[in-house]
Amino acid sequence: MGDYFALLKPRVMSLVVFTALVGLLVAPVGVHPFIGFLAILCIAVGAGASGALNMWWDADIDAVMKRTVKRPIPSGRVQPGEALAIGMALSGFSIVLLWLATNALAAGLLAFTIFFYAVVYSMWLKRSTPQNIVIGGAAGAFPPMIGWAVATGGVSVESVLMFMLTFMWTPPHFWALALFVKTDYGDAKVPMLTVTHGRDVTRKYIVAYTVLLVATAIALGFTSIGGPVYMAVAVVLNVQFMIGAWKVYKRTDADCDADNHLAERKLFKLSLWYLFLHFGALLFEATPIAKALPWL
């Protein structure tokens, strides 16, 4: 069972669950706890289904890259057909149950997310364009929008900006990683930006998307779900992120080889906390404690 669970990419699923939960809880419309539980369960299962379908399709390149060679399919612990069956079954289950428990918009967004990640990203973009991470990042950005749709039955500026926050975060997060695992993507013939255009161009793109990310994060603070705590967290984190991106931009390949990509690794580690802390601050702004404090 552990091997089947690994197909669902539990680490990725944990981020999906958290951002979806925040989208649900910060919405202006309350949801019955049981309906909320079912909704988050469906979103988590849908995310896991996407992961299983991705592993089924990418089994050939996973067997080449060092960081993925131990996944269930390339290691031989799970057969490709099993992964496909699990992915399809969980996709159908999560979409139908979410529709029955909540509304058609939330179910439609979940269905589109699974399709986008499994087909548009995995089967098309990942192996065809160096912008694979940019466009494919939309799949991981939908969960808070789905959570918001569960509660409100609609889309708003707040849900779009939560989507954009994750969408703009994805490229610098993965490109920072790609800068120090370049040979992995090259060996697997995945057209990551570091492989097709080189490290210098990748550094420029990291800075460009970081600027857009900072603007999105600050803009979210001025919406109805923002507040002083969120704004304080956003300012601190985004100053650090911008400084980290700028340090990466100013480096040369010789610098990277000399210190084993120290700046790139620091930026990647910071990016791991970036979304969690932003969404955590949004969640705090929605709590009774935050609303009860007079200075908030």
**Per-residue pLDDT reduced to its tens digit, 2-57:** 888 888 888 878 888 999 999 999 999 989 999 999 999 999 999 999 999 999 99
Q: C-alpha angle 114/119/120, rounded to 5°?
A: 100
187: tokens are 């060996």
Can you tell me the distance from the alpha carbon of 143 to that of 215, in angstroms, rounded to the nearest whole number? 21
pLDDT at 59: 86
Answer whether 251's CB lies under 8 Å from 203's CB: yes
pTM for the model stands at 0.90
pLDDT over threshold 80, residue 75: yes
Fold classification of 1-154 is Tetracycline Repressor; domain 2 (1.10.357)
